Chain A
Amino acid sequence: MPSLSKADAGWASAVAIGSVAERMARLENARGILHSLARALGSADAHVTRRTSSVFSDYARDAAAAFGNPDAADEVCIVLDALIEGIKIVDDIQDEEPVCLAAQIGEERALATARAALAYALDLGVVLPFDDDAWRAAIAAIGRGIRETALGQQMERNATADFESFWNVVDRKTPPLVATALELGALAAGATPAQAAALTRLAIPLGRLLQIGDDCNDALGENATDWRTPHLNLLMLFSLCGPNGPELATLLRRETLHDAQLWLLRDGALSYAIHAQKITLDALAATLDSLPLPNPAPFLATMERQREESAALLEKMV
């Protein structure tokens, strides 16, 4: 039997934890069993970094605000921080990040820390003060978010250097956690499970926007690291598939990264990313329009902010 890489082992654990949580959400005495499971997985040892802001918390707050109570999302934001922590640890191992927890304490201990963080998310879920139907929907959303994100991250390992593969991976690895954030935020504000589930239709466009923004930063930022896996970065894939792709390929090294970044700009890669962003924003607007939200204004404001930022960049470029 072939041995699993450490990242594969981490994702396999996450798939198992998520699947079990989803099934447990349906059991009669689910809270007690789920708490026991979380403790067995090390939730008491978790060290989760609280964040003053993260995009997932922002989406949860937007969802809560859409149902009339933006402050209701505070408790679920802690759950999201724990999920992000667990997933990020394994993702950093997969991406071979030079500065990450696994580099500091070793991959085995980092994986145990990731499991503990995911278990902590479940344990925090146990005490969410929702009515029974909403609570079961919330636990299922947490479990689904863990399982589907892990499956999507595993797909990334088999991605090929073409756009079909690129968007396929993006749509599998990022939207599940966005969907969890939206669902938890809506439930926290008193939405019914059906209303909260409907809101997850925003997850694909919001997940794509998140990935596009990430790719711009990871291609053009000072500490850009995507040059090691350029087929997973929208800007780099655009230029590598173009007429001068082989020339760019020779520049994708740490020593020549700055030259590669200027090359990407001049080749129109950022413009293509902004084109993709605009189309995705239009899709998001259409989906928002189709949802009977009491107050879509928070999501509309987020969209408008992105449009303005991108428009300002385009003005400078052409």
Chain B
Amino acid sequence: MSEKLMTFEEFRVSHDDALRAQRENLRDDAVAQDILRKASATRGWPVWDGNAIPVES
């Protein structure tokens, strides 16, 4: 597997089968909603200030 960052076109071509399978899988709305929820609350990813909790002003 290439170690460089693919362009969006290269990614679409090289992952065509996987992306098609993913689209089919995500047609089930419950699965898509679940991914959406998990993706937006992934705690292991750093974010600018999303994981900051103000403790005093």
Contacts and interface: CB of A to CB of B under 8 A. Distances in A.
Helix, strand, loop or mixed for chain A's interface? helix
A238 B32 CA distance: 19
Contacts of B34: 316
A85 B14 CA distance: 42
A309 B49 contact: no
Contacts of A163: 7-8
Given A163-B7, A209-B46, A309-B44, A49 B57 contact: yes
Given A220-B36, A279-B3, A51 B54 contact: yes
Which bucket holds chain B's interface residue count?
A: 35 or more
A58 B49 CA distance: 12
B26 to A, nearest CB: 5
A52 B31 CA distance: 34
Contacts of A84: 49, 52
A99 B29 CA distance: 31
Nearest to B51: A53
Contacts of A4: none
Contacts of A160: none
Given A276-B5, A282-B3, A316-B34, A51 B40 contact: no
A266 B40 contact: no
Contact of A58 (B22, B32, B33, B46): B46
B26 A308 contact: no
A259 to B, nearest CB: 11
Contacts of B38: 312-313, 316
A309 B45 contact: yes
Nearest to A55: B46
Contact of B11 (A50, A213, A275): A275
Interface centre among A209, A221, A237 (most CB of B within 10 A): A221
Given A52-B53, A279-B5, 18 more contacts: A47-B57, A55-B49, A55-B51, A58-B46, A217-B50, A238-B11, A262-B29, A262-B32, A262-B36, A265-B36, A266-B26, A268-B11, A271-B22, A275-B11, A275-B15, A309-B42, A309-B45, A317-B35
7 contacts: A49-B56, A51-B49, A54-B51, A55-B51, A262-B32, A270-B39, A318-B25
